[in-house]
A and B are shown apart, each in its own frame.
Chain A
Amino acid sequence: MNADPIGVLTGSHYLDGDHSCSEGAIAAGCRFSAGYPITPSTEVVERLASRFPRVGGRFQQFEDELAASIAVLGAVWGGAKAVTVTSGPGFSLMMEHIGLAAITECPVVYINVQRGGPSTGLPTQPAQGDMMQARFGSHGDYRLIALCPNSPQECFDLTLRAFNLAEEYRVPVVVMLDEVVGHMTEKVVIPPADQIEVTPRRYTSKKPGDFKLFEAAEGSLVPEMVKAGDGYRVHVTGLTHDERGYPAMNVVAQDKMVKRQFAKIVENADKIITFEEKNLLGAEAVVVSFGITSRIAEKGMQLAREKGAKVGSFRLITAWPFPEKQIIELSKKVKAFVVPELNMGQMSLEVERLAAGRCRTIPVLHAGGTVHNPEVIAEAILEAVR
C-alpha cells in the first residue's frame, strides 16, 4: 500500500541523517516512538517529538533505554508501528529487548547511531564498532536484519525499508548509522506519498481459535500477526514457546522455534540483501565497505586508480544478513578484498571467512573518532593489487 500522505514531507530538503531517519519512520507509518536522550542519536526522537503531535503519533520519553526499548514492543502489540533510537551505551542496554523482539517475532525498528566506544567512549565522534553487537549482542541464537545508510538520503530510504522488512518478516530491524552520517546535512528528496510503498502489518484473516500466533503462514516461514484487543487472547512470552505462544521448555520446542526463526531470515536472504557494486569488471581488488566509510573509500579508490590500480567497490547496504554468496563469488575473481572500517576488525572478519583463502583480505582498521584518511585506503588498495 501507499504511505499515508499526512506524514509525508514530499519535496527536497536539507536534512541531517538523524532527522532524515525521523521522516523515513513517519513516511513508513510509524506512529509511536519511545526514547531516552543520548548523543549522537537524540535528534531523531527530538524531531519525532515535534512532528508526531501534528501527524497523529505519540512519542514518550522514558526513564532509561531499557524502558524505551520495551515500550516500543508494547506499542507494536497494541497495533502501532514503533521505533526507538539510541547510541553507544544505550544500544548495550537495549540488547535484552532486541532478544525479546526476536523471540516474540515482533516487527519493530531500532536505530543505532554509532559513536566511539567501548563504554562512554567518544559520545560526539564516529565509529562503526557495534556491527557485531547488532548481530550477536543479545544472548542466545537469533537472526535479525541490519541496514547501513551512507547518506542522509539513505537514512530516509533505509528507515522506511526497515519498517517494511520488519513487517514482512516479523523481525526486529536495526538501522546502523554512524555519527558522521547521523550528523551530516545533505539534500534529501522525499517522494510523494503515492510513490512510497509501505508494507502494512500482516494481520491474520483467521478467526480466534483457528489462529496460532507463532505458526508460519501457509507457504511462508513467517507467522501472521494480531494485536491486543481483537479477541484473539494471545499469549506472548520471552520463554521458548510453541505455536500457540505457550511456554514449552523442552528440546523439541526450542529446536523448532529457533530453527524457523533462523530460516525465515536465512532462506529469504536473497530478497532481503541489498548492496551497491561499482567498477567490478576487471577489478583486481574489491573494496568492501559500508556507512560513511564507503564514501571515504570511494575517494581512496579514485586516488588508487590514478596510480593505475584496477579496483572495484562492493558496498554493504544490508549488513545482516551478510551477502555471503556475492563475497564468495567475488573472492574467486580478485586478488584481494580491502575492508576499511571504523573499528578494529568486524565486517572484515566476515569477508575473510567467506574468502576462505581464495584471495587475500586486507582490513584497513581505524579505532574511530573521525573517518579514515583516503590516502591510507588508497595505499591498501595499491598493496592489494601488487
Chain B
Amino acid sequence: MGPTEIKIGGLGGQGVILAGIIIGKAAALYDNKHSALTQAFGPEARGSACSAQVVVDEDPILYPYVQKPHLMVSMSQDAFVKFAPELREDGTLLIEEELVKPQGLPKGVKVFAVPATRIAEELGKKMVLNIVMVGFFTAISGVVSEEAARKAVTDTVPPSTIDLNIKAFERGFAHGKKLLAKA
C-alpha cells in the first residue's frame, strides 16, 4: 500500500497545524499506524499561506516529507494556488467551498467541498473551521478512522472546548458522508 501523503494548506492563524496534528495523532496513537508530521518553517507571517504535511503508513515512515500529496486540504485560495500544483494526478482535493475556487487542477483530481466557515459560524465559533475540515477529511479520505479522529480531537483541543470541537467534527464528518453517498 505504501505511504499516504497529506498536505493541509491554509492561512496562518486558521489552525492548519492543529488540523495536521489531529490527523497525524489519530493515525499514530489511535489507529495503530505510523505517521509523521512536518511543517514548513519559514519567515512567513501570520496570515500568509502555510501548510502541515502528514505521512501515514502501515510501516515505519522513512521519508518524512510530502512530495506528491495523495490528499490535499485547502482552506484558503492562497494556499490552493501555492500548493495545488503538487497534487498527484489521481489525488483528492478537499476545499472550504466559500474560500477556495479551484481552477487548473491536475487531471483526474477529485474535488470535494464543504461550507466549513458557514458550519463553524452556525456553531457560534468561526475558529472551529479547521475541525470541521478534519471531520470532513476523515469521512472522505478514510485514512484515519472516525473513532481515532474523535479521540484525537478530544485530547488535542483545550478541555473547555471539547464539546464545541466534537460538534464541529461531526458536522464536517456528516457532510462528507452525505457527499460520498451522493457520489
> Do A and B interact directly, with beta carbons closer than 8 Å?
yes
Query: What is the interface of chain A mostly: helix, strand, loop, or mixed?
Result: mixed
B6 at the interface (CB under 8 A from A): no
Question: Measuring CB to CB, which residues of chain B are less than 8 angstroms from any residue of chain A?
Answer: 21, 24-25, 28-29, 34-39, 41-43, 61-65
Q: List 16 A-B contacts (CB under 8 A).
A: A12-B29, A13-B29, A14-B25, A14-B29, A124-B42, A125-B41, A183-B38, A184-B64, A186-B28, A186-B37, A187-B34, A187-B35, A302-B62, A371-B63, A371-B65, A374-B62
Our pick among A12, A40, A186, A370 for the contact of B35 (Cβ within 8 Å) is A186
Instruction: Write out the residue numbers on chain B whose beta carbons fall within 8 Å of the beta carbon of A302.
Output: 62
Q: Given A39-B41, A124-B41, A185-B36, is A180 in contact with B63 using a C-beta cutoff of 8 Å?
A: no
Interface size class of A (residues with CB under 8 A): 20 to 34
Query: What is the interface of chain B mostly: helix, strand, loop, or mixed?
Result: mixed
Our pick among A40, A124, A295 for the contact of B62 (Cβ within 8 Å) is A295
For window 175-220 of chain A, which residues contact chain B by CB distance below 8 Å?
180, 183-187
A185 touches B21 (CB 8 A): yes
A296 at the interface (CB under 8 A from B): yes
Instruction: Write out the residue numbers on chain B whose beta carbons fall within 8 Å of the beta carbon of A295.
Output: 61-64
A334 at the interface (CB under 8 A from B): no
Instruction: Write out the residue numbers on chain B whose beta carbons fall within 8 Å of the beta carbon of A125.
Output: 41
**How far is B41's CA from A370's CA once the two chains are assembled, in angstroms?**
12
A47 at the interface (CB under 8 A from B): no
B29 touches A374 (CB 8 A): no
Tell me how far the C-beta of A339 lies from the nearest C-beta in chain B, rounded to whole angstroms: 18
**How far is B61's CA from A108's CA once the two chains are assembled, in angstroms?**
32
Instruction: Write out the residue numbers on chain B whose beta carbons fall within 8 Å of the beta carbon of A14.
Output: 21, 24-25, 28-29, 37
Instruction: Write out the residue numbers on chain A whose beta carbons fall within 8 Å of the beta carbon of B43.
Output: 124
For window 273-301 of chain A, which residues contact chain B by CB distance below 8 Å?
292, 295-296, 298-299
B67 to chain A: closest residue by CB: A373
Instruction: Write out the residue numbers on chain B whose beta carbons fall within 8 Å of the beta carbon of A180.
Output: 38, 64
**How far is B38's CA from A296's CA once the two chains are assembled, in angstroms?**
15
B28 to chain A: closest residue by CB: A187
B20 to chain A: closest residue by CB: A185
Instruction: Write out the residue numbers on chain A whose beta carbons fall within 8 Å of the beta carbon of B39.
Output: 183
A185 touches B63 (CB 8 A): no
B63 touches A299 (CB 8 A): yes
Instruction: Write out the residue numbers on chain B whose beta carbons fall within 8 Å of the beta carbon of A183.
Output: 38-39, 41
Digit string of A10-26 for contact with B (CB within 8 Å is 1, else 0)?
00111010000000000
Give the 5 A-B residue pairs with the shortest CB-CB distance, closest first: A185-B37, A14-B25, A124-B41, A187-B28, A299-B62
For window 6-44 of chain A, which residues contact chain B by CB distance below 8 Å?
12-14, 16, 39-40
Tell me how far the C-beta of A171 lies from the nearest C-beta in chain B, rounded to whole angstroms: 32
